[in-house]
């Protein structure tokens, strides 16, 4: 029987003790005497969130396919356990073997949102691992990180030994081989990190230095080691049909956020929404074969006993064989096995409504649109190819089909936004309301309701808007209040994000190495679980900015010049800076750009020779 | 048709609550295409019920679940489910119920417990006899309306004896009268003027019983 690290008096006095015991269905256990490399993989948030993340599941499966590697998981302990761990001086441990994280060869983080940075620091601290890379010794694990946030790794560069830029499937095998070879040769950690300099996609921050101009902008960012590459090229899988996919994923004993089988349709996106980082950094679009997906779906249901299957991609409507695939999932798996199909990120039109009608409980579900901006003018600026006509027609079809609830997502503070654009959000809500009530009473079903949610725009690295200034906090609040007054509350509910959080995200997303000190101080001041509204305390951050003399507006609200060297410029995601600038200018002029299937606009991705681009 | 499974919940599965347990069983049933029957209606749910759900923190070697099935099951499904379920959760045996038999949840009247004592101080058979000789054994308990009321648990303690380092208990369980082992330990500690620390007592439920002709009979038979 498995020996747990925590005793009953701790486990039975915290919320959801099952977060800390492992022992899930399909959990991997290995004979430690056959293992050369022990890897602790972490999603720095609470168990139920981390366990719902596909990327983590893919890497867990990928690493453990190697016989000489044992990959185990560690998540952020909830605040109740953190207290107990600190009080009893128990260092953080992994779920599988319940062993100290500190004793592992690697500790790898996936960074999915900027507001998890303080959790990364807290996790290191709870594991008794020095926070700063330079303070760690041979005894400490090698700390690495990947995921979307690391396309601008600089804000956390001081805490991480190396970053992996891109998709893990490509180079981790080589990294493990180098690690083993180095140990065999009696090499030090430094020797290993040096050997990584020859691996594509790996960025070792200690071998790079930055100097700044008087105005605070970067003067020079350059390697300090002869072998360090001046450009780090993102790693992408060329053919998703041949790489491993987790067919026996872990099934948690307690309910995770998403308790369902996840089927990845494709990676990348053909659209070029100018605010969207995922749309740029995950290029090119690479589809998986539909026959393979059908096989995998069957296998996944068989291996997990789950009763829901979810199709995952950036925009499922773009999947070429969507009809064939969904027909199969509904007829062969859904009906025969009582498995539900869930279809997030689907464009609402008659085809998708037809599928949704087959698989969803109309009383419970709603249709979702993400116009992102309230007017056609601004939607053209951001290149969001969703017209008012499509929204109105889509809603009308949905209402006729039996739906009565609509969700709408918008961003405020987009470049060139005026008060008319903000008001346009409320007007779009009214137009949808009119559409509903224009239908005959007999054809209106259910209780009509619209939910409008607005977030505040955060300019991100590697997007055409990376040069843009973020709106000020004051302006966010004014716009939100104005919109709140405009919205017809009879049928429309309005939700808004926390503007303070968006401002901080704005600092992190385009921060440089100096921002690392702010994160460190904020953590020292008590910040953690910042993405959780019940824990987020802006005061920790205000104090941190004061203590470090870092001016948040320099990173968030400042508009950049074309020539400025960005902290992330040394990373090559395939899409070129020249293309991004072109798109920025076209955006400001309100000119739209076609998607990759309609025309190639030479974003630079073709140089990667894979996926959609290879069709040209 | 209804099938009654006997299962056990040991090791770290004791940290899994009742609702999560049901979800795990549902996954196991789906895994092997078990012919479980579903309720009719708009949101069909599998027809299963667990007798006297165990509190988090307690292990068991004799728990019972009744499952309605549409057709006969294949016996090898049980092995397959055991292979699939996490370590510490196993089906032990099953019986087919006759048409007239009531479900396990409604007939349970008693449970046997083995409580391992970490502190043996003052735990003697004489003291236990004296404790049981009290006219009433009062404890505080929250009723269904969440109001704390004082209840007498004495008539629900069918047996209490010391066996080496363990306290063995037979307690009233179920919808008619329900005495939790923690009530007994708490009141025993108070009687012996001992500090009560719940973690000094490791509780294991051995089996569940129903009443036939005035005798307690295991649900297994």
pLDDT score for A247: 97
Q: What angle do CA A166, A172, A175 make, to 5 degrees?
A: 120
Instruction: Assess B70–A contact: CB distance below 8 Å, yes or no.
Output: no
Q: How far is CA A578 from the centre of its chain?
A: 25
Instruction: Assess B39–A contact: CB distance below 8 Å, yes or no.
Output: no
Q: Report the percentage of chain B scoring pLDDT > 70.
A: 100
Question: Which residue of B lies nearest to A248 if distances are taken between CA atoms?
Answer: B84
Mutate to test the interface with A, among B86, B88, B196 (most CBs of A within 10 A): B86
pLDDT score for A446: 82
Domain residues of chain A, as ranges?
A: 8-233, 362-497, 510-558
pTM for the complete prediction?
A: 0.95
Instruction: Assess B196–A contact: CB distance below 8 Å, yes or no.
Output: no
In chain B, alpha helices (H): 18-31, 76-84, 104-107, 125-132, 181-191
d(CA A330, CA A341): 7
Instruction: Assess B35–A contact: CB distance below 8 Å, yes or no.
Output: no
Question: Which residue of B lies nearest to A6 if distances are taken between CA atoms?
Answer: B12
Residue A399, CB half-sphere, CA atoms under 13 Å: how many? 25
Instruction: Assess B86–A contact: CB distance below 8 Å, yes or no.
Output: yes
Segment holding B89, helix H or strand E: strand B89-97
Which residue among A8, A25, A306 sits closest to B199, beta carbon to beta carbon?
A: A8
Residue ranges in chain A whose pLDDT is less than 50: none
State the fold for domain A362-497.
Answer: Transcription Regulator spoIIAA (3.30.750)
Question: Which residue of A lies nearest to B18 if distances are taken between CA atoms?
Answer: A254
Mutate to test the interface with B, among A2, A253, A260, A307 (most CBs of B within 10 A): A253
Q: Hey, what are A514's tokens?
A: 């100096």
Q: What would the pLDDT profile of A2-26 be if each residue is shown by its tens digit? A: 789 999 999 999 999 999 999 999 9
pLDDT score for A559: 97
Whole-Å CA distances, A166 to A116, A202, A355, A565, B16: 19, 9, 33, 22, 37
- Identify the DSSP state of A608: G
d(CA A429, CA A349): 18
Q: Which of A552, A546, A473, A538 is nearest to A510 (CA)?
A: A552
Pick the CATH number of B2-101 from 3.40.50.2300, 3.30.70.580, 3.30.300.210, 3.90.1300.10: 3.30.70.580
Residues from chain B that touch A24, judged by Cβ atoms under 8 A, are 86
Domain residues of chain B, as ranges?
A: 2-101, 107-218
Q: How far is A118 from chain B (nearest CA, A)?
A: 29
d(CA A78, CA A50): 12
Segment holding A572, helix H or strand E: strand A571-572
Q: How far is B68 from chain A (nearest CA, A)?
A: 17
Residues from chain A that touch B20, judged by Cβ atoms under 8 A, are 18, 253-255
Pairing of strands B148-152, B138-142: antiparallel
Helix axes A515-524, A538-548, angle to 10 degrees: 130
Q: How far is A252 from chain B (nearest CA, A)?
A: 9
Contact indicator for A407, A371 with CB cutoff of 8 Å = no
Helix (H/G/I), strand (E/B), else coil: A150: helix
Q: How far is CA A607 from the centre of its chain?
A: 25
Which residue among B27, B88, B199 sits closest to A251, beta carbon to beta carbon?
A: B27
* Cβ-Cβ contacts under 8 Å for A378 (sequence gap 6 or more): A414, A416, A417, A421, A424
d(CA B69, CA B190): 48
Q: How far is B45 from chain A (nearest CA, A)?
A: 11
Question: Which residue of B lies nearest to A23 if distances are taken between CA atoms?
Answer: B86
Instruction: Assess B195–A contact: CB distance below 8 Å, yes or no.
Output: no
Q: Does the pLDDT of residue B45 top 90, yes or no?
A: no
Question: Which residue of A lies nearest to B198 if distances are taken between CA atoms?
Answer: A9
* Cβ-Cβ contacts under 8 Å for A408 (sequence gap 6 or more): A368, A369, A370, A371, A425, A428, A429, A432, A450, A451, A452, A453
Q: How far is A201 from chain B (nearest CA, A)?
A: 38
pLDDT score for A237: 94
Whole-Å CA distances, B13 to B86, B154, B200: 8, 31, 19
Q: How far is A309 from chain B (nearest CA, A)?
A: 14
Q: What would the pLDDT profile of B122-179 be if each residue is shown by its tens digit? A: 888 999 999 999 999 998 888 778 888 888 999 999 999 999 889 999 999 998 899 9
pLDDT score for A457: 97
Record: contact A8-B57, CB cut-off 8 A: yes
Residues from chain A that touch B55, judged by Cβ atoms under 8 A, are none
d(CA A359, CA A352): 11
CATH superfamily entry for domain A8-233? Cobalamin-binding domain (3.40.50.280)
Record: contact B16-A18, CB cut-off 8 A: yes
Segment holding A509, helix H or strand E: helix A499-509
Record: contact A18-B86, CB cut-off 8 A: no
Helix (H/G/I), strand (E/B), else coil: B9: strand
List % helix, strand, coil for chain B (3-state, nearest 5). Answer: 25, 40, 35
Instruction: Assess B26–A contact: CB distance below 8 Å, yes or no.
Output: yes
Residues from chain A that touch B84, judged by Cβ atoms under 8 A, are 25, 305
Q: Do domains A8-233 and A362-497 have the same CATH topology?
A: no
Q: How far apart are the first and last CA of chain A?
A: 57
Q: How far is B119 from chain A (nearest CA, A)?
A: 15
Q: Hey, what are A483's tokens?
A: 């919109």
pLDDT score for A610: 63
The sign of the torsion formed by the CA atoms of A513, A517, A519, A520 equals positive
Helix (H/G/I), strand (E/B), else coil: A167: coil
Q: Does the pLDDT of residue B74 top 80, yes or no?
A: yes
Contact indicator for A288, A240 with CB cutoff of 8 Å = yes
Residue B3's DSSP bridge partners are B67, B96
Q: How far is A129 from chain B (nearest CA, A)?
A: 28
């Amino acid at each position: 029987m498995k020996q747990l690290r925590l005793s009953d008096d701790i486990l039975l006095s915290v919320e959801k003790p099952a977060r800390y015991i492992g022992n899930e269905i399909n959990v991997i256990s290995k004979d430690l005497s056959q293992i050369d490399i022990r890897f602790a993989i972490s999603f720095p948030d609470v168990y139920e969130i981390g366990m719902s993340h596909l990327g983590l599941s893919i890497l867990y499966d990928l690493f453990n396919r190697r016989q000489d590697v044992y990959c185990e998981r560690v998540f952020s302990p909830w605040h109740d356990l953190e207290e107990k761990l600190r009080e009893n001086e128990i260092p953080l441990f992994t779920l599988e073997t319940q062993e100290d994280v500190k004793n592992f060869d690697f500790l790898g983080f996936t960074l999915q949102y900027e507001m998890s940075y303080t959790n990364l620091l807290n996790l290191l601290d709870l594991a008794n691992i020095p926070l700063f890379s330079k303070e760690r010794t041979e005894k400490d694990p090698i700390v690495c990180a990947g995921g979307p946030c690391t396309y601008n790794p600089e804000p956390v560069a001081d805490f991480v030994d190396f970053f992996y830029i891109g998709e893990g499937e490509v180079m981790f095998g080589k990294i493990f081989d180098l690690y083993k070879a180095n140990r065999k040769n009696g090499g030090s950690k430094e020797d290993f990190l040096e050997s990584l300099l020859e691996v594509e996609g790996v960025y070792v921050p200690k071998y790079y230095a930055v100097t700044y101009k008087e105005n605070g902008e970067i003067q020079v960012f350059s390697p300090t080691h002869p072998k360090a590459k001046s450009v780090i090229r993102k790693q992408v899988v060329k053919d998703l049909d041949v790489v491993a996919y987790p067919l026996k994923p872990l099934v948690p004993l307690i309910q995770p956020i998403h308790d369902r089988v996840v089927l990845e349709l494709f990676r990348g996106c053909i659209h070029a929404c100018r605010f969207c980082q995922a749309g740029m950094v995950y290029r090119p679009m690479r589809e998986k074969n539909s026959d393979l997906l059908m096989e995998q779906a069957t296998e996944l249901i068989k291996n997990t006993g789950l009763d829901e299957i979810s199709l995952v991609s950036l925009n499922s409507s773009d999947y070429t064989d969507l009809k064939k695939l969904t027909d199969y999932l509904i007829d062969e798996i859904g009906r025969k096995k009582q498995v539900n199909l869930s279809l997030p990120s689907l464009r609402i039109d008659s085809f998708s409504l037809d599928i949704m009608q087959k698989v969803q409980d109309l009383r419970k579900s709603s249709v979702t649109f993400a116009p992102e901006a309230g007017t056609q003018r601004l939607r053209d600026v951001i290149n969001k190819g969703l017209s008012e006509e499509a929204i109105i027609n889509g809603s009308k079809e949905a209402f006729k089909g039996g739906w009565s609830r609509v969700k709408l997502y918008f961003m405020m503070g987009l470049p060139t936004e005026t008060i008319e654009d903000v008001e346009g959000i409320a007007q779009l809500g009214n137009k949808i309301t009119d559409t509903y009530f224009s239908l005959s009473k007999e054809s209106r079903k259910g209780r009509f309701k619209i939910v409008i949610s607005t977030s505040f725009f955060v300019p991100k690295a590697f997007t055409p808007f990376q040069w843009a200034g973020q709106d000020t906090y004051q302006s966010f609040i004014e716009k939100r209040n104005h919109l709140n007054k405009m919205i017809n509350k009879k049928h429309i509910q309005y939700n808004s994000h926390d503007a303070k959080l968006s401002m901080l995200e704005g600092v992190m997303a385009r921060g440089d190495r100096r921002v690392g000190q702010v994160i460190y101080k904020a953590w020292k001041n008590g910040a953690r679980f910042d993405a959780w509204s019940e824990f987020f305390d802006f005061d920790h951050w205000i104090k941190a900015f004061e203590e470090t003399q870092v001016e948040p507006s320099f990173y968030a609200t400042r508009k950049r010049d074309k020539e400025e060297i960005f902290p992330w410029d040394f990373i090559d995601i395939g899409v070129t800076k020249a293309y991004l600038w072109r798109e920025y200018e076209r955006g400001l002029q309100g000119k739209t750009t076609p998607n990759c299937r309609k025309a190639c606009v030479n974003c630079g991705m073709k140089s990667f020779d894979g996926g959609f681009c290879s069709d040209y | 048709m209804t099938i009654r499974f006997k299962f056990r919940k040991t090791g770290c599965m004791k940290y899994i609550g009742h609702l999560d347990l049901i979800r795990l069983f549902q996954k196991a049933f789906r895994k092997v295409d078990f012919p479980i029957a579903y309720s009719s209606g708009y949101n069909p749910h599998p027809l299963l019920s667990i007798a006297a759900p165990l509190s988090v923190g307690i292990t068991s070697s004799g728990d019972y679940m009744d499952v309605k099935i549409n057709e006969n099951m294949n016996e090898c499904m049980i092995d397959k489910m055991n292979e699939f379920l996490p370590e510490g959760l196993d089906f032990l045996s099953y019986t087919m119920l006759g048409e007239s038999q009531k479900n396990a949840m409604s007939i349970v009247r008693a449970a046997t417990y083995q409580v391992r004592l970490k502190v043996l101080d003052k735990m003697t058979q004489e003291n236990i006899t004296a404790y049981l000789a009290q006219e009433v054994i009062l404890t505080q308990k929250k009723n269904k309306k969440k109001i704390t009321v004082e209840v007498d648990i004495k008539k629900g303690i069918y047996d209490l004896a010391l066996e080496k380092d363990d306290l063995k208990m037979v307690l009233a369980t179920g919808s008619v009268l329900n005495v939790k082992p923690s009530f007994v330990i708490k009141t025993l500690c108070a009687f012996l003027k001992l500090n009560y620390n719940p973690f000094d007592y490791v509780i294991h439920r051995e089996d569940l019983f129903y009443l036939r002709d005035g005798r307690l009979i295991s649900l297994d038979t």
